[in-house]
Amino acid sequence: MVFSSLTFLFLFLPILYLLLFLSRSPRWRNGVLIAASLLFYGWGEPVWILAMLFSTAVNYLCARAIDATERKGLRRLCLVVGVIASIAFLFYFKYAAFLLNTVLSFTSVSWRMDSPQLPIGISFYTFQILTYTVDVYRRKAPVLKNPLRLLLYISCFPQLIAGPIVQYGDIADQLEERQISVPDFAEGMQRFVKGLAKKVLLANLCGAALEELTLAGTGTALSVGGAWLAGLLYTLQIYYDFSAYSDMAIGLGRTLGFRYKENFLFPYGSSSITEFWRRWHVSLGSFFRDYVYIPLGGNRRGTARTIFNMLVVWALTGLWHGASWNFVVWGAYYGVLLILERFVLAKALEKVPKLLRWLLTFVIVLIGWIIFYYTDFSAVWQHVLALFGIGGAGWIDAQTVAVARKYTVFPLLCLLLSLPWVPALGKAMPEKLRDFLQPIVTVVLFAVSVLFLVGQSYNPFIYFRF
């Protein structure tokens, strides 16, 4: 089930809110929410619930054992068992075939392992389980005696499928007791509708425009204009698609009494790669910082060790997105750029005008998304070289012209809306006018989004496959 479906909007969500309203005690509300979350996750593929339940159960027992003993060796053993139980499922479903087939490609063995079907959202909920067990081990958060509360933390449907990655310590208290006020509910629904509109009206249309263009790897050369337009459309599509899910998850969480941290802070307004990654998928960056980079030593052991730690983090960041070499290269691409920016180019970049730094950053990010998009390296090279007129089909082609005419200023509008001036304009508006317009805009956006959904088939979010 997806947020941007009529079944979710007009069946699942109203029934859930009704049942929560009728449930007077926190225990009953938690039970309703767990049942709804398992239904949401198991919709269409109920078998994958078992993997999540098993991993949750093992980590519940390991955390209880960690909390019950002071023996360092036993505590560490319980931590390792919990981590392995979580990582084992993720490794098998996501990486086993990739690694095994890579090794076999260097031998004369012709057999190859078929990749198993990937349980939806496994990368996200695995990381959340890990934060619980590790935080209990570090004594940073209390152990949960009630296993249903841990299941609620892991399975809670707003952020279950595609984040944000919620760290246990951030919402431990909210699992015990939550307050839902009318203003919180209203703000949450406004945020949800904003995300719905971004998905349906912006991300999906960017994707539709992209599908009408000739892409690399199809046997047809790309023009310079076509290469740039395709890169821009995917850059916008993945931002609006993923940030839309985060908006909807944060909004739904707010209506249920949870306060999730922001996941996107207008990343395309960044004037450096470092700034971009402080604004893009913030919860993933926070996870790798808190559970990989800092435990490895962070920047406390000299420049060489810091560079090594950064490369490890970015290798894992690339692999987290998928078992494919393009994701490995994509992670290395950003790891090298961040190292150069931090240790080599920092002083020189300070002298470059901010507008030029923004433009350079945006182009670097766009090229990164081209690497991210294609699993075929020859297609990556073809597309990137075509951006600069190398090996392409001239400056422009008829198909690109047709798409540009059909969608006119839509890509430019999407780019402008992705920049930080939008919230600044809202804050500058008189408060009474803003309070008057918000509910009207929300209703209009919801109505228009529903009209678009009526004519659409299944439209999953891009990050569902990670």
417 in a structural domain: yes
Same domain, residue pair 162 and 27 = yes
3-class DSSP string for 357-376: HHHHHHHHHHHHHHHHHCCC
Residue 463 reports pLDDT greater than 60: no
Helical (H) or strand (E) element with 448: helix 431-454
- The pLDDT score that the predictor gives to residue 120 is 82
**Which residues are catalytically annotated?**
321
Task: Give the helix ranges, DSSP H, for 289-409.
Answer: 303-321, 325-343, 346-350, 354-373, 377-387, 398-407
Q: How confident is the model at residue 47 (pLDDT cuts 50, 70, 90)?
A: confident
Mean pLDDT computed over 379-386: 93
How does DSSP classify residue 150? Answer: H
Q: Between the CA of residue 213 and those of 94, 218, 238, what are the distances in Å? A: 30, 11, 17
In this prediction, what percent of the chain has a pLDDT beyond 70?
97
Spatial distance between the Cα atoms of 268 and 421, rounded to a whole number of angstroms: 11
Among 426, 11, 463, which residue's Cα sits nearest to residue 244?
A: 463
The answer to whether the CB of 279 falls within 8 A of the CB of 267 is: yes
Range of the domain at 424: 185-465
pLDDT at residue 251 is higher than 90: yes
- Can you list the pairs that 361-364 forms with residues at least 24 positions away whose Cβ atoms lie under 8 Å? 361/270, 361/271, 361/272, 361/273, 361/275, 361/276, 362/268, 364/273, 364/337
Residues 394 and 276 in one domain: yes
369 and 262 in a single domain? The answer is yes
pLDDT at 376: 87
Residue 106: pLDDT band with limits 50, 70, 90:
confident
In a domain, 1, yes or no: no
**Which pLDDT score is estimated for 462?**
65
| Mean of pLDDT values over 356-370 | 96
Question: Is 297 inside a domain boundary?
Answer: yes
Q: Smallest Cα–Cα separation from 208: which of 243, 234, 171?
A: 234
CA–CA separation, 106 vs 112, rounded Å? 12
Is residue 124 located within the same domain as residue 224? Answer: no
The predicted structure's pLDDT at residue 76: 94
Taking residues 146-167, report their average pLDDT.
89
Shared-domain flag, residues 130 and 149: yes
Mean pLDDT of 102-123: 85
Same domain, yes or no, for 154 and 254? Answer: no
Q: Which of 151, 177, 203 is the last residue of a domain?
A: 177
pLDDT tens for 289-338 read: 999 999 999 888 889 999 999 999 999 999 999 888 999 999 999 999 99
Claim to verify: residue 203 and residue 289 sit in the same structural domain: yes
**Residue where a domain stops, chosen among 177, 195, 224:** 177
d(CA 386, CA 378): 12
Same domain, 330 and 189: yes
Co-location of 204 and 258 in the same domain: yes
Average pLDDT in the chain:
90
pLDDT score of 72 more than 80? yes
Is 56 part of a structural domain of the chain? Answer: yes
**Given 114, 146, 177, which residue is the final one in a domain?**
177
Number of domains in the chain: 2
Q: Is residue 147 part of a domain?
A: yes
Domain co-membership, 75 together with 149: yes
pLDDT tens by residue, 126-156: 999 999 999 999 998 889 999 999 999 999 9
Q: Is residue 175 pLDDT above 90, yes or no?
A: no
34 and 166: one domain? yes
| Backbone torsions φ then ψ of 162, nearest 5 degrees | -145, 35
Distance between CA atoms of residues 251 and 441, nearest Å:
16
For CA atoms 117, 121, 124, 125, the dihedral sign is negative
- Among positive and negative, which fits the CA dihedral 88, 91, 96, 97? positive
Q: What angle is formed at CA 230 by the lines to CA 229 and CA 233, rounded to 5 degrees?
A: 85
Does 44 have pLDDT greater than 70? no
pLDDT tens by residue, 415-458? 999 998 877 777 788 888 888 888 899 999 999 999 888 866 65
At 272 the pLDDT is 95
Closest residue by Cα to residue 420 from 271, 227, 234, 206:
271
* Same-domain pairing of 171 and 210: no
**Burial of 52: CB neighbours in 10 Å, binned 0-12, 13-18, 19+:** buried
